[in-house]
Amino acid sequence: MEFELTIVVPVYNEQDNLPRVVSTFITYFETAPLSTKLLFVNDGSSDNSQKIIEEICNDDQRFEYITFKQNQGLSAAIKAGFDTVQTPLLGYIDADLQTNPEDFNKLLEYRDQYQLITGVRAERKDSFFKNFMSKIANVIRRSFTKDGMDDTGCPLKIIHTDYAKRIPMFKGLHRFLPAMILLQKGKVIQVPIRHYPRIAGKANFGLWNRLLGPLMDCFAYLWMKRKYINYTIVKKG
């Protein structure tokens, strides 16, 4: 089967969420407007995630995986997924399913006009502290990047694969995906989507990765923007 869209799902100690991911995506595959498969990126999980992932992929060719030797963090997992994907379009969603795969269909409506379509979480179901820190971080990021995005941390995105593969790698990358597409002269748009509470697994957040880390990453982005090389080949012989 020839696929048109690959959904990248980073996994770090998500053994309790993986069965729900599979059942949800098996249902989604039937309604997706494009032929779709899923790529698990196991970021060095120390629980039973790898065994479960292998069982899933052995049972259904629409599920694939790559596995890190050790934990490298979310940005590395996303980048590895981007580098592995071979379909024209790729998507991104978190294994906790706080966003709904069905909402990929809302994003895909804009795939011909935009190179990155990102969700923006309406009525977020996170804690007050997490929401507050995210709002501050987004204000800081927008002041540096001028990307116009309200919720770059939203774990639901569609990207043209050729643009995704040209994104340079650095820690904190996932907060700057729209800005990195804009550096390539691509077009971005945000679309309201649904958001749900986490019902299994453990979220990892705090003052550093919600506020101080993103602030430091903004300076890294400004350095990269000054050094960024962008070119278009118009003819080959």
pLDDT tens-digit readout, 187-236: 999 999 998 776 665 655 444 455 566 667 777 777 777 777 777 778 88
Confidence (pLDDT) at 70: 95
- Residue 214 confidence (pLDDT): 67
- Superfamily per CATH, domain 5-227: Spore Coat Polysaccharide Biosynthesis Protein SpsA; Chain A (3.90.550.10)
For residue 128, what pLDDT is reported? 55
Mean pLDDT, the chain, rounded, equals 85
- List the 116-121 sheet strands across, edge first: 63-67, 36-42, 5-11, 89-93, 156-160, 116-121, 188-193
Q: What percent of the chain has pLDDT over 90?
A: 58
Cα(51)–Cα(41) distance, integer angstroms: 13
